[in-house]
Structure 1
């Protein structure tokens, strides 16, 4: 039958009902028009089983067809299409930061904090290990900063200051731990949607255009985000880049930049955003709601693009999207001494600035 399979309109999958009708018709043509192919008859049941198996083959054929095109391919198939142009998907990255260990009274002796010591968030669901040894000196109550790295990659491990507060690996003479600054740098694996959009603007063979520069820089391992500002009057281009190795970035810019155009790059200025929210819940487990709202706000802010203003409505949507939130009583956000608390307000972010996670305070009223 025509109209199914590869057509001018794309791949049209043959429905199960059509396949079943065709099988029943073939049975009657071969065995006689008076053959009983009703659903409850033996032949009817055989026809249904056969038609179902054929329908599954049509589904697989459609998946094979879709895997050949950027708009419909997914997962490994989309990645393979990207590799044809020299593109790779950005992998998940590990959050890193620093913690300090402490005790209530001055240490009677030096206490060593071994590399590989495990610390965690308050609920012990997000784990980190120390990447180097540290120590708490005799007579001191606080250690020098010790570097940590998340045990698992992903944006979930980006936590605000003073939220890594649990010691999972006991340390003699040490009672407490905390992170004086936010733990940052964790990112989820690039989604198919983002990878697909990047593929559509990728210009592997071109040089000297903003699109080409963006494509090449985003394809560097570890680059999480960037913002390009082109000044056509001064004939200059400035790039703010989050993640990636310095040498690789500099080399790619030199390779891709237009002749005679100065291209400079820098790391984005970090702008912590503090959020305070009061809400009402529709469930009894208010503690879980508070934690989920805090996580939703944190994930949104950590994934915010460089140079993009923080819109109040986006913050509200993140809160109201959490299951168990009945209503939002109030919400405010502060960055660089500017506070917003209404739907027509934004926190302006400079072209070379990146939003980071500040303090999130969520209360139930």
Structure 2
């Protein structure tokens, strides 16, 4: 039989299956060589028919990819990058993290740019500019400098007071630390995240509206999530926000970048609130006081007890389980809920899992089979190291 529909259609691009193409090729061969030819898979005609059908299938699949590459919802990889370029919204690339460090020395001392400091986990940072320590009001010699992570990626956004090691020990340096969390590090943006940002850009162009402010902030390097709480009433709201205020929460990103973005996008008369206070210039050069907050990180812990079947991968099965759970939790937005029941399908999709029992919580010592609710300013996260897998523990 002939292929009824192929190519562009009023409902989109229609692509026949391999079986449909093979039927069509076999029909053509019988029309030309007679209906008594042998078309089994091990016959000459059968082999030729399958070669032709397979090559046509590959060609049609490439045509289908070309068609779908023109749309944000279906484009992937470089095609999605080209759509983003048309919108002047490039994909975020992996960037290093930055942090302010405080160095204490015995006496006035010069620490030269390039000096390296690191965390206990081995995340290394380079000092960007020379730092000279000076005596403070307490008689200590202290200097403040900016460091940049040697590697790129989100894992470089280390917690406060974790950059405490001088990579090349110096007896003149008494101590070093980072009073605040490192920021700005990000991974290469994957297709799904980039696609969501492009769609947001179309729906809400950066501007003074709530959606527009969120869209503009999401385009900043290192910013992974944004949530905005508005209080349009004459009294403080349930979160303590003052009357007629807007409270912006960002997950990731650098203070100066966020403040500059808010200075440009927030409409006149809007009262921003938040514990972070940064002076930033708007597009006209006017200096504004900008307030906002970083989202509160809410680590999630999990314990999974599994009864396995013969198909279970003893070497990597537990790692697969951990990764599936971590991916689900890390995909959630602020003010979302960690639903326990949504964890089970991804676990049961792993080959070799017969039965599973999952417990989650914010304290590794107190886990339960209950959902976890979050506040609008909380961002849940889960490291695979926070997950315990007990094989055949049911």
Same fold by TM-score greater than 0.5:
yes
2-structure distance, mates of 1:194, 1:163 = 29
| 1:62–1:309 distance in 2 versus 1, CA, 3 Å | closer
* Pairing 1:1-365 to 2, within 5 Å after superposition: 1-98=3-100, 112=111, 114-117=113-116, 119=118, 121-122=120-121, 124=122, 126-133=123-130, 147-161=146-160, 170-171=168-169, 173=171, 182-201=181-200, 202-203=202-203, 209-220=209-220, 223-233=223-233, 236=244, 238-242=246-250, 243=253, 244-254=257-267, 262=270, 264=272, 266-269=291-294, 271=296, 273=298, 305=333, 308=335, 333=362, 342=368, 349=375, 351=376, 353=377
Count of equivalent residues: 340
Partners of 2:127 and 2:145 within 8 A in 1: yes
1-structure distance, mates of 2:118, 2:369 = 39
Partners of 2:158 and 2:182 within 8 A in 1: yes
2-structure distance, mates of 1:284, 1:39 = 39
How far has the Cα of 1:49 moved from its partner?
1.9
Partners of 2:98 and 2:184 within 8 A in 1: yes
Partners of 2:245 and 2:270 within 8 A in 1: yes
Q: Secondary structure at the match of 1:11?
A: strand
Partners of 1:162 and 1:180 within 8 A in 2: yes
2-structure distance, mates of 1:204, 1:312 = 29
How far has the Cα of 1:214 moved from its partner?
2.8
Structure 1 range deviating more: 34-43 or 92-101? 92-101
Partners of 1:312 and 1:341 within 8 A in 2: no
Q: Secondary structure at the match of 1:52?
A: helix
Q: Secondary structure at the match of 1:268?
A: strand
1:114-140, CA deviations, whole angstroms, 9 ceiling, x for partnerless residues?
A: 525263553x4x443332345799xx9
2-structure distance, mates of 1:310, 1:42 = 60
Partners of 1:16 and 1:52 within 8 A in 2: yes
Q: Which has the higher contact order (CA 8 A, sep 6+)?
A: 1
2-structure distance, mates of 1:207, 1:354 = 25
Partners of 1:95 and 1:153 within 8 A in 2: yes
| 1:190–1:19 distance in 2 versus 1, CA, 3 Å | same
1-structure distance, mates of 2:212, 2:150 = 35
1:257-295, CA deviations, whole angstroms, 9 ceiling, x for partnerless residues?
A: 7xxx5253522156465777788899999xxx89x979x
What is the alpha-carbon root mean square deviation over aligned residues?
5.4
1:75-98, CA deviations, whole angstroms, 9 ceiling, x for partnerless residues?
A: 232233344444343443422335
Structure 1 range deviating more: 140-149 or 78-87? 140-149
Structure 1 alignment gaps of length 5 or more: none
